Structures are given as C-alpha cells and as structure tokens.
A and B are shown apart, each in its own frame.
Chain A
C-alpha cells in the first residue's frame, strides 16, 4: 500500500519555466490538498479538492493551478515559475470518514 506518492521528489527550475507536480493516492480518498512549507511559515494551503472534478483555492493560490480529473490524482501546476515559489511542496489526502490527513514525502523545488 503506497499511500500518497508525489512525483518528482526534487526539481530545479529556471525562472519562467513551467512544471507540473503529480500527487497520487491509492486509498480512495475524497479530499486532496496541496501545501507548501517554508521555514518559519509552517504548512500553507495552496489549493484543495473535495472530490473528483472539483478544486478550490486555499490560503496562497496565486501562481498555481490545479486539476483533479481522476479521483486518485491531484496535479499542481506552475505556469511561470518565480524564485518566491522555491519551497517544499506536500500533497495530502483524507477520506470522508477519516479525521486525519495522510501526507506524501514532499517535492523540493528550487527556482533559480
């Protein structure tokens, strides 16, 4: 049972480049989340989804887009990367009857 898997684990981008982070969960969870984690800032919610085909903005959505075409996948896109988007990105999922969220191992993104 893999749980929540994030791809890639590391990436270096040049300013202005685009990329997509993939999150896949095999627990049939309804809810999925994308967070970024920066020193002294904790986990900040970027976007989330309450079910297949739905997305919603979190606390820091600017510069990011998401899609949830399949229940098990939640994609995070950066259209034009900026150095301020250098961070560690975590995906999480939660079932409708669960209390807790399950996290992936994170993606370390550096924008130069």
Chain B
C-alpha cells in the first residue's frame, strides 16, 4: 500500500466551478505538504506548500491540511481553462534524505 493515496480522476468541471482535490496519507511523520501542477508534456511545478494543519490561501487556490485525519486538500475557486492540468500532492518526512512522496496525480479539465 502506498503511503500517499490520491484519486486519479479524471475530473471535468465547467469554467467557474469550485474544484476540490484530495490526498490521504498513512504516516503521521509527514511534515511538509505540497501541491504540484503539471501541464501536459511538462515537468511538475510547485503550486503551494504548507507545514502545519490549517488553511493557506494564494489567490484562487487554498491548501488545507488536517493532520488528525491524515488528509490534505487543494481547492480552486473560479476555475479557469488554464487550470486544466494534472495536480500532484507531495509530502516529506524527516530522516529520509529529503525524499518526496507523491500521490499519483489527479487529471483536471476545466471546460469553457
């Protein structure tokens, strides 16, 4: 069983919708939580990262971490066609040589 689980989708929403992307994890040692966005045939790019439980907002994006439930979410408000991409959650834990543990990614399409 993978330490980080993510629903692969695909997810298709109309422009302007609120999108919710989620990951669960099994190891309470994870400390840093990240969301990467990957456009087709490109490398992943960091969208947001958080360290503690709670919410972090950046424009139309909100990252949420619930350590007690081992659950993280990314919300996208007023979704745009340019948000169409694969979103990967990632997390790190101590004493692993700074390894990143990735979810499998959720493919999102925003329809104009």
B interface residue numbers (CB < 8 A to A): 6, 8, 32, 34, 41-46, 49, 51, 88, 90, 92, 97-100, 102-105
Residue from A43, A48, A103 with most neighbouring chain B CB atoms (10 Å): A43
What is the number of residues of chain A that contact chain B, defined by CB distance less than 8 Å? Answer: 23
State whether the Cβ of A94 lies closer than 8 Å to any Cβ in chain B. yes
Provided the pairs A100-B34, A105-B43 are in contact, do residues A42 and B88 lie with their beta carbons within 8 angstroms? yes
Known: A42-B105, A105-B42. 18 other contacts (CB 8 A): A40-B8, A40-B104, A41-B104, A42-B6, A43-B105, A45-B100, A48-B97, A48-B99, A50-B97, A58-B99, A90-B44, A94-B98, A100-B46, A100-B49, A101-B90, A101-B100, A103-B43, A105-B43
Please classify the interface of chain A as helix (H, G, I), strand (E, B), loop, or mixed, using the class held by over half of its residues.
Answer: strand
In the complex, what distance in Å separates the CA atom of A90 from the CA atom of B88?
14
A interface residue numbers (CB < 8 A to B): 4, 31, 33, 40-43, 45, 48, 50, 56, 58, 90, 92, 94, 99-106
Residue from A50, A92, A103 with most neighbouring chain B CB atoms (10 Å): A103
In the complex, what distance in Å separates the CA atom of A50 from the CA atom of B88?
23
CB distance from A37 to the nearest CB of B (A): 9
CB distance from A47 to the nearest CB of B (A): 11
B34-A99 in contact (CB<8A): yes
Provided the pairs A45-B99, A50-B98, A58-B99 are in contact, do residues A106 and B43 lie with their beta carbons within 8 angstroms? yes
